Copies of this chain bind each other. A is one copy, B any other.
Amino acid sequence: MKRLQDLGEFGLIARIERLAARAHAKTSRAVVLGMGDDAALLRTLPSEDLVVTSDAYVENVHFRWATQSASRIGRAALVANLSDLAAMGARPLGFLLSLAAPPTLSVSVVDAAVRGMLELAHKSACPLVGGNITRASETSFTITALGAVPRGRALVRSGAHVGDALFVSGPLGSAALALARAEASGARIRHRASPRLDLGRALCDLPGIGACIDISDGFSADLAHLLAASKVGAMFDASAIPCEKNFWRECARLGLDPKQILLAGGEDYELLFTVRGRFASAQVLSRRLGIAVYEVGRIIPKRSRRKSDLPKGWSHF
């Protein structure tokens, strides 16, 4: 078995460059200069702001080699970052990969992880433009993703106003359910979340979008972030939150609390956003976007105590 120490730092860089060159036959026009220099050069349009985010995916914290394929691990490391671009309404420009790994790690495992990552990168028109490689005692993929958004139009967490309708973009709890299912059966995790880049960009073009965040830590935690940034409160109907077919039956079969999985599962990578005005209706908004979205609640004042006003089944945050 060939190990990273057999390749060396520059051997591994050359290998990743070759994989990337193959994956990105058509590189983005935003890339003036990709890998191989002291830094990458990118270009946004004069009418755009630059969006930049970074996230780490660490062995034994975020993943284990044994419980999922290397390809899925590489992909998942990029999903978190692209999802942050989606939440800002950005189009991807490119990403940097900072790879830390033990010298004894198998080259074929790294190959598979990088291939999984590059496959999603290609699909998302987000080429690998740089990064670095270092030795470490455990493997980690630290990614910085760059995107561009029409100037002054980025979707932010702080834009929610009292009266806004609260939406999510798709079923929640699937990632957590897949993890529990894999743990119960001893099989590998198969669920693959996708960043909602198209939706983010479409929302960015609409009037009346308030705040937006991607659901990475779980609905409850990320809603809390959005509300804190916007200095508002919310009420929501947990039963209105979409979930996959057979979700409740599967939770029961596995002895899981479905509400916990739905609201706190995490790694859903759906968007949570608020809307006011003529698009503040799931039917109107879904039709306009050509993408299904689900109304799950409403923005209320921060210290509202009007619990009695709430419809049955709605939780007050």
Q: Which residues in A have some Cβ–Cβ distance to B below 8 Å? A: 32-33, 36-44, 46, 49-56, 58, 60-62, 84-85, 87-88, 90, 96, 98, 100, 129-132, 134-138, 140, 142, 144-147, 149, 151, 154, 156-158, 212-214, 229
Contacting pair A158 B37 (CB below 8 A): yes
Chain B's nearest CB lies how many Å from the CB of A21? 16
Contacting pair B50 A156 (CB below 8 A): no
Contacting pair B52 A144 (CB below 8 A): yes
Contacting pair A52 B129 (CB below 8 A): yes
Q: CA of A147 to CA of B39 in the docked complex: distance in angstroms?
A: 10
Q: CA of A146 to CA of B147 in the docked complex: distance in angstroms?
A: 13
In the assembled complex, which residues on chain B have CB atoms less than 8 Å from the CB atom of A140? 100, 134, 136, 140
**Set B32, B44, B85, B132: member contacting A44, Cβ < 8 A:** B44
Q: CA of A142 to CA of B60 in the docked complex: distance in angstroms?
A: 18
Contacting pair A38 B135 (CB below 8 A): no
Main secondary structure of the interface of A (DSSP, over half): strand
Contacting pair A56 B98 (CB below 8 A): yes
Q: A38-B213, A98-B142, A144-B96 are in contact. Are A134 and B53 (CB under 8 A)?
A: no
Chain B's nearest CB lies how many Å from the CB of A195? 11
5 closest A-B pairs by beta carbon, nearest first, are A46-B46, A39-B53, A144-B144, A38-B87, A38-B84
Q: CA of A213 to CA of B144 in the docked complex: distance in angstroms?
A: 22
Q: CA of A138 to CA of B37 in the docked complex: distance in angstroms?
A: 29
Q: CA of A100 to CA of B90 in the docked complex: distance in angstroms?
A: 27
Contacting pair A40 B53 (CB below 8 A): yes
In the assembled complex, which residues on chain B have CB atoms less than 8 Å from the CB atom of A49? 32, 41-43
In the assembled complex, which residues on chain B have CB atoms less than 8 Å from the CB atom of A100? 56, 58, 140, 142
Contacting pair B98 A39 (CB below 8 A): no
In the assembled complex, which residues on chain B have CB atoms less than 8 Å from the CB atom of A135? 58, 61
Contacting pair A132 B38 (CB below 8 A): no
Chain B's nearest CB lies how many Å from the CB of A288? 23
Contacting pair A131 B54 (CB below 8 A): yes
Chain B's nearest CB lies how many Å from the CB of A70? 19
In the assembled complex, which residues on chain B have CB atoms less than 8 Å from the CB atom of A96? 52-54, 144
In the assembled complex, which residues on chain B have CB atoms less than 8 Å from the CB atom of A55? 98, 132
Q: A58-B135, A132-B56 are in contact. Are A84 and B44 (CB under 8 A)?
A: no
Q: CA of A32 to CA of B84 in the docked complex: distance in angstroms?
A: 17
Besides A37-B158, A50-B146, 14 other CB < 8 A contacts? A33-B156, A38-B53, A38-B212, A39-B52, A40-B51, A41-B149, A44-B50, A52-B96, A60-B137, A61-B136, A96-B144, A100-B140, A100-B142, A137-B138
